[in-house]
Amino acid sequence: MIKLIENFRAKIVLLFFALLILLFSGVVTAQSFKITTITKGLEHPWGMAFLPNGDMLVTERSGRLRLIQDGKLEQKAIAGLPSIQANGQGGLLDVILHPDYLKNGWIYFSYAEPGEKGMGTAVSRARLKDLQLLDVEKIFSMNIKNGGGRHFGSRLLFDEKGYLYITIGDRGEQDRAQLLNDHAGSVIRLHDDGRLPKDNPFVKQPGVKAEIYSYGHRNPQGMSLHPQTGEVWIHEHGPQGGDELNRIQPGKNYGWPVITFGVNYFFGTKIGEGTHKEGMEQPLYHWVPSIAPSGMAFYTGDKFPEWKNNLFIGSLKFQLLVRLELQGGKVVKEERLLEGKLGRIRDVRTGPDGFLYLLTDKNNGAVVRLEPL
């Protein structure tokens, strides 16, 4: 009996030390953080950008651009925006700064532009003085507009070479995503002033919109630059399931609506030809059921060392924040954070202060900050 007790004690001690080894080796870890609300009172905020002095620009889908100074929301909206049609998912959408903002002062924003046959995604740039936009110029307008209020895409990104990328949704007309004479359902690449890059993949093909960099996309509402490879990554909404994470390559066809892991909203019927087809790209990762992703950022700050280079994605449907760990360009782990804590998460950004910032998509939306404990 004494020997059995000693053996049992020995096993307990071994188990205790094994747990300690796992804990301190980083295998069993959980990043603790607190949520700090920067400001509330935003009407369905959609995108945000950080000014060099620490202030923030935030778009409201209803068509207003707002300034947050010293953590306080300016009550007066910024004036000087072009004509914007707020309808359905459309309105004033993303906002980013030029990489050389300190030299040229350019701010870029995407929006639903009204036209004779409906609406379409457009991008303009302007300079900000006090609460007024100056030197406003439109640098992109999708070529075919329609009256629907869905799938504008509209995320903006500059890469390391200074090219501007724009995501465009299929505008609720899925077959348009396979047409190269139509901007719908594509990722666009331009120079910062809207000029066409000479090395875009379809420049030499007649009858094609040469601004198109990749196509076959449904509704990409997240885009971020991989901090180690410099590659452009996007995610896009699937239908009922089939949300995708993709690495964008020039000239590639990402399949929608020919291939998808999603199904029709009504009765769950099949879409297209299945999940695979030769000549069409497979996603790096996909979600079934759909999480309704929006906003995306690689974490590049120093406040959360455990999260370095992890990918963060907002979820509208499940009202949470997805964290993805990557190895060799593949997703090896998914963690779901903040479920039911904040509501619909519309945008995610790494702040210049190293914290992680989120926008909540509500009538009384907020900017919140995640800070380590």
Walk along the chain (373 residues) and give the pLDDT tens digit of each residue: 444 444 445 444 444 444 343 333 333 347 999 999 999 999 999 999 999 999 999 999 999 999 999 999 999 999 999 999 999 999 999 999 999 999 999 999 999 999 989 999 999 999 999 999 999 999 999 999 999 999 999 999 999 999 999 999 999 999 999 999 999 999 999 999 999 999 999 999 999 999 999 999 999 999 999 999 999 999 999 999 999 999 999 999 999 999 999 999 988 999 999 999 999 999 999 999 999 999 999 999 999 999 999 999 999 999 999 999 999 899 999 999 999 999 999 999 999 999 999 999 999 999 999 999 9
d(CA 185, CA 173): 9
What pLDDT score was predicted for residue 360?
Answer: 98
Residue 300 Rama label (left phi>0; alpha psi -120 to 50; beta): alpha
**Nearest residue to 162 (alpha-carbon basis) of 215, 104, 112, 203:** 104
Q: Which amino acid is at 45?
A: P
- pLDDT tens digits, one per residue of 11-37: 444 444 443 433 333 333 479 999 999
Q: Is 151 a catalytic residue?
A: yes
All structural domains of the chain: 35-372 (2.120.10.30)
What pLDDT score was predicted for residue 266?
Answer: 87
For residues 128 and 53, the answer to whether their CB atoms sit within 8 Å is: no
| Tokens 């089939």 belong to residue | 242
The catalytically annotated residue of 44, 151, 237, 286 is 151
